Amino acid sequence: MAKMTSRGKIRLTSYIVFFLIAWITIHVLVEAIRGIAGFFAARETLGADFGQSLAFNAGISNLMSWSFFLAALVVMAVLFAAILENETPFTPKVPRRMKLTAILLLISGEGSYLVALLIYRIQLNKYALLQYDMDSLSTSLSAEGGSFLALIFLCLAYIFEHGLKLQQENDETL
């Protein structure tokens, strides 16, 4: 049995990750469509009171979360396509795309929570609502999860950036 070269391993891994990202993207899209349908169903059911409801708040923050999470998945797919094309992860595009993915994931988690909090405050002031528990707002990707993933991608970006510098120094030495 022939040994697989390191470029072959990179190619195989990139294909696997690329298809996993595509699969996850399809599932997130299905959930986003379900969420949009639920958002409009709640709007139709509640009528004029919809803007004052928890469903409105959760719907808006979830739509924002899904949008940025889908954007992060697309950037990750492009990232692995670039790795596949160059047969190495040590190109200038890889760390930049990893940093962009980290920013999108951070916005997906923390940003959607902040939007929910802002809408809650507006609802509280404008409609003099009874306070509801902010913890009852469910987002598709929690703020902690998005922040953790963003931190991982940011660390990986700096690791790959350092690897790129080492490879460039090595190429200059030879």
**Count of the separate structural domains present in the chain:** 1
Q: Is 72 part of any domain?
A: yes
In a domain, 146, yes or no: yes
Residue 62 is assigned to a structural domain of this protein: yes
- In which domain, by residue range, is 154 found? 6-173
Residue 1 counted as domain residue: no
Residue 96 is assigned to a structural domain of this protein: yes
Quickly tell me which residue has 């294909």 as its tokens. Answer: 15
Q: For 19-75, what is each residue's pLDDT tens digit?
A: 999 999 999 899 889 888 888 887 778 777 766 677 777 788 888 888 898 999 999
Query: By C-alpha distance, which of 156, 142, 14 is closest to 81?
Result: 14
The residue ranking higher by pLDDT, 174 or 87, is 87
SS3 117: helix
Q: Look at residue 74 and tell me if it is in a domain.
A: yes
